[in-house]
Chain A
Amino acid sequence: MTAEASPLPQAARPAALPEAAKPALLQIRDLVREFRTRTGTVHAVSGVSFDVWPGETLGIVGETGSGKSTLARSILQAPRPTAGAVVFRGTDLVTLRGARLLQARRQLQMVFQDPFGSLDPKWRVRDLVAEPLVAYKTGDRNARRQRVGELLEMVGLAQHGGRRPRELSGGQAQRVAIARALALSPALIICDEAVSSLDVLIQAQVLNLFERLRAELGLSYLFIAHDLALVKQVSDRVAVMHLGKLCEVGPGEAVYRQPLHPYTRALLDSVPGSAQAQAQARATATIRGEPPSPVHPPSGCRFRTRCPRAAQRCADEEPGLRELATGHSVACHFPLVPMACTPDRSAEKIGETPR
């Protein structure tokens, strides 16, 4: 069966992007991933839709258990989603099997959190970087050797080809993982907490490397992390995920300056040293309690049990994503719109220069 892109409902295009004329690189539609366990069905990802445009970095931020890693793996079809469509460059990966899936996935690569976990400890760096080239039978020996040299140069490890993973620092190992991801000239790289385990100075080096590669190679990223400041730093648009659903999507700067969802507000307030957190004097802002169980998610809005603004309607009716400003959508019955929330602090915070 030929994998034809089924006609999909168009999501709002980010007006800011110059490439808006090009088709989306990745279109996720109503993606669902459930796990059956003895205690019940885990609703890890429950109907998520978004687009990633060519050259764009979309950041996804969420807490542990929000389903962001499951989402990443579902996109790669490893394992496959329970329902929904994952259209990459016009082809729905969900409909593909075997060799066709492998070919389609070639330009979709992933970088994980623990670099040592994804590198065979007995291999040398140059063989680790060559592995994807060998697996996809790319070029001959000489061409591959040359490509490995280029890749190691690109990630700043030209001198380290002969080393083994244990002779590398965490940052160097993550560079090897990035070189592997780049080997097949991907169009999109999914970074799942790719810098979260690194020390802040090394993290900055790797983030800068991602930026340089984006500019030089025209890459797109789906950048997944729990750290909102980190995600905002690298992303054009930011999507906030809570318990398997997107609650807010918008341009990074807008999400930070004018968050619409109470959960986004809480995440912003939790960043240590942020202007918000300091103004709060460590007192009230943090949301209480733990995320609810994904086995028995709350009815209606899944954030309502932790939400300071929750009302009866939130229990009765699930809020859908709706666009309140250009390219800025929220799934909330009572969003934090400046005019509507006079007693809320969020209104007066806007425009303040935080440090």
Chain B
Amino acid sequence: MKAEALLQVQDLRVTFTGRGQPVHAVDGVSYRVYAGQTLAIVGESGSGKTVSCRAVMGLLPPSAMVTGSARIQGTELIGLSDDRLREHRGTDVAMVFQDPARSLNPTMRVGAQIAEAVRSHRPVSKAQARQQAVDLLRLVHMALPERRCAEYPHQLSGGMRQRVMIAIALACRPRLLIADEATTALDVTTQAQIMELLLELQAELGMALMLISHDLGLAAAYADEVIVMYAGRIVEQAPAARLFGHVRMPYTQALFEAIPRLERPAHSLLPVIGGQPPDGAMPTGCSFAPRCRRAADDCRAAAPPLAEHEPGHRWACWHPVKPGAA
């Protein structure tokens, strides 16, 4: 893709200061998202995938120190005041979270919540906003949208609530939609429906889509481009179609292998790696080395840089897996 990036993140760093040692949650992350593209960021809890996106959205608590750059269509978002950020949230970037039940107001009817999102960014009358709420619910394929508008969140199923959240996120036609574990809490059948819906809306509205997930299988199935994060850094990035069969970073390989697969015989042991991601103090050298089967002395001495070793395929590893071995 030669077009200019919609979102360009450069050397993003997030440090949480508080009592005790500062925690480097995001440690120099750079990537680009293009219009119409689906980018997945995959990693375990604590890998920094969510924090890096929240930093872009300006949704981190004051204890977080954010440096680096995140430009959306040329506008620098890092360091922007709350008021100015609010202009970009919703219209440029919108976010859908994992738990729709906690994001919705339980005492407000669904239609009113969507209408509120519409009116907060656009000068339309209440009646128009209501009509748009119905249209948005229709857009996310909600059956009986007029009736659903009059209902409260508790009257909806998890999948329907997530559709409402997507409708709210789409209220101002954002150029970039960030789905942070948006389907994790849902059933597989509902998850497939919501993923299809997101991709369909993306094509229809020309949005860029960012999927934040711990599920490499989901990312590989639905994204164009996959970024794998470990301990606050990007450790591998490749087009999704390439990543299958061409995994180079041992951590990505471990993630792939640990997914239960239908093809695997019952009671077979899953190939696992021990240990936990580092929390707090980072090891010198590669942060994955303590858990890595391939780690050697040079891994513990110096951290491998993230470099584009093959066209479109970046990885950070001194001893990468041979292609096809994954």
A201-B272, A204-B258 are contacts. A354–B263 as well, Cβ < 8 Å? yes
Are the C-beta atoms of A271 and B222 separated by less than 8 Å? no
Segment of A18-26, A181-189, A274-282 in the binding face = A274-282
Distance between Cα atoms of A97 and B269 in the complex (Å)? 40
Give A61's nearest chain B residue, CB to CB: B188
Question: A272 to B262, Cβ gap below 8 A?
Answer: no
Cβ-defined contact, A208 with B272, below 8 A: yes
- Contacts A201-B255, A270-B191, A290-B159: A211 and B262 contacting too (C-beta < 8 A)? no
Q: Which residues of chain A come closer than 8 Å to B306, judged between CB atoms?
A: none
Determine if A236 is an interface residue (Cβ-Cβ < 8 Å): yes
Whether A200 touches B216, Cβ cut-off 8 Å, given contacts A226-B187, A267-B188, is yes
Residues B260 and A227 in contact, CB atoms below 8 Å apart: yes
Given A207-B270, A272-B215, the answer on whether A289 and B143 have CB atoms closer than 8 Å is yes
Residues of A within 8 A of B187 (CB): 63-64, 226
| Contact B189 A267, beta carbon cutoff 8 Å | yes
Encode B178-201 as 1/0 by CB contact (under 8 A) with A: 000000001111111101100100
A232 to B263, CA, bound (A): 9
Q: Report 24 cross-chain contacts, Cβ distance below 8 Å, ordered by A residue.
A: A64-B186, A64-B187, A65-B157, A200-B255, A211-B269, A214-B267, A228-B262, A229-B262, A233-B260, A233-B261, A234-B267, A236-B266, A256-B262, A268-B262, A269-B192, A271-B217, A272-B192, A272-B222, A282-B196, A285-B192, A287-B189, A288-B193, A290-B159, A354-B263
At the interface, yes or no: A36 with Cβ under 8 Å from chain B?
A: no
Q: How far is the CA of A273 from the CA of B241 in the complex (A)?
A: 11
Give the size range of A's interface with the partner: 35 or more
Taking A200-B258, A201-B254, A207-B260 as known contacts, 18 extra A-B pairs with beta carbons closer than 8 A to each other, sorted by chain A number, are A201-B258, A203-B258, A204-B271, A227-B260, A228-B188, A229-B259, A232-B260, A233-B266, A235-B266, A236-B267, A252-B266, A267-B188, A267-B189, A277-B221, A285-B192, A286-B189, A286-B192, A290-B157
Residues of chain B contacted by A274 (CB below 8 angstroms): 262
Which residues from 154 to 175 on chain B have a C-beta closer than 8 Å to any C-beta of chain A? 157-160
Complex Cα spacing A269 to B271, Å: 25
- Assess A271 versus B188: contact at CB under 8 Å? Given A200-B215, A203-B258, A286-B193: yes
Q: Is the CB of A253 within 8 A of B216?
A: no
Kindly state the separation between the CA atoms of A266 and B189 in the bound complex, as whole angstroms.
Answer: 7
Total number of B residues with any Cβ neighbor in A under 8 Å: 48
A353 to chain B, nearest CB (A): 8
Q: A211–B260 Cα gap in the complex (Å)? A: 13
Q: Does A230 contact B (CB under 8 A)?
A: yes
Knowing A207-B270, A233-B264, A355-B263, the reply to whether A270 touches B258 (Cβ < 8 A) is no
Chain B residue with Cβ nearest A251 = B266
Known contacts A227-B188, A253-B265; A205 and B272 CB within 8 A of each other: yes
